[in-house]
Amino acid sequence: MKGTAFLVVLVLLMGIAAVACGGGECGVVEITEEELIEGVVASVDAQETCRFETDVNGNLEGTADGQSVKMTISMDYAGVIDNVDQEMQADMTMAMDLREGDRRQQMTIPMRMYFLGDMGYIGTRVPGQPEEWIKGDVSQELWESQEFLSQQIDLIRGAEVTILRTQSVRGTCCYVAEISPDMEMLLDMVSSLLGGGMGVELTTDSISNFKCTGWYAQETYFPMQSRVEYDVTFEEEQDRVTGHYTANMVFYDYNKPVSVQLPPEAEGAEDVGSLDWYLQ
């Protein structure tokens, strides 16, 4: 595997979703952990639309293709999800500081993404170049891997859960819970983000010190916030990279009207057939 591709794999690991802090405590409502899991899983049918914000930060260090590498990376997302029409819009900015041997590369890359049913559009602006747009088919698997809200449901499904307290988030009283997901499910989630074309095999040793805290609305059980922190160790042949990631996500404005409109500049996007290869 080339060094650049190896590092792209590590960047994609940042796709495991998570989130931020809340406000003061709410009144105590007694429920069991099993009732919380059941309520959150069942709530998915009532989640028609929402807005989300995400920030992910990572530090990586090790060797790739025989060279020492060190990278810090941050990714900020903001967007809307429409589960009724299966549409999504997200603005993302990625900032990266990469050191490979004696070379250093710093860049900030803005990206815009639109999913409209089974068609997706991605606009990317590489430093020093005009924005370029591509379009392609969106499979159900790709939609599920990019739709952050459903990932929150998958994370708690079959997990070990401990309710810690109640807390207000944006004026909504929430249960705060520590989530210990099933490792096989966690690996499947990461593998779906990586896709099958990278020649990468993830094991239970790839992810360690995984910590997840979730905030769930008391009345609706909707995910409101999530915070994830974990270490990663990635090895292939002589390459070995270790890293630490934190991810924070907040969901709000559930079931309020949203409109996903393709910008005019995306009309002339290059058709690449399928976006699965690009995002997975």
Query: Contact at 8 Å (CB) between 57 and 243?
Result: no
pLDDT above 60: residue 29: yes
Q: Residue 182 pLDDT > 90, yes or no?
A: no
Query: Which pLDDT does position 188 carry in this prediction?
Result: 66
pLDDT for the residue numbered 174: 95
186-240 pLDDT, tens per residue?
776 555 444 443 445 667 788 888 889 999 999 999 999 999 898 888 887 778 8
DSSP labels for 171-222? TEEEEEEEEE--HHHHHHHHHHHH-STT-----TTSEEEEEEEEEEETTT--
What number of other Cβ atoms are within 10 A of residue 79's Cβ? 21
Topology of the domain covering 3-279 = outer membrane lipoprotein receptor (LolB), chain A (2.50.20)
Buried residues in 41-78 as b, exposed as e (16+ CB within 10 A): eebbeebebbbbebbbbbebebebbeeebebbbbbebe
265 pLDDT above the threshold of 50 = yes
Distance separating alpha carbons of residues 111 and 75, to the nearest angstrom: 10
Q: Once rounded to an integer, what is the mean pLDDT over residues 92-117?
A: 92
**pLDDT value at residue 219:** 94
Asked whether the predicted pLDDT for residue 17 surpasses 60, the reply is no
Q: Are 175 and 161 in contact (CB under 8 A)?
A: no
Per domain, the residue ranges of the chain are: 3-279
pLDDT, position 202: 67
In this predicted structure, what is the pLDDT of residue 280? 54
pLDDT at 11: 45
Q: To the nearest whole percent, how much of the chain has pLDDT over 70?
A: 83
Which two structure tokens, joined as six digits, stand for 227? Answer: 């915070």
Mean of all residue pLDDT scores within the chain = 83
In this prediction, residue 8 carries a pLDDT of 40
The model carries a pTM of: 0.83
Looking at residue 102, its pLDDT comes to: 86
The residue with tokens 């990631």 is 245
pLDDT of residue 129: 87
Q: 140-180 pLDDT, tens per residue?
A: 877 777 777 888 888 898 899 999 999 999 999 999 999 99
Reported confidence tier of residue 241, pLDDT bands at 50, 70, 90: confident
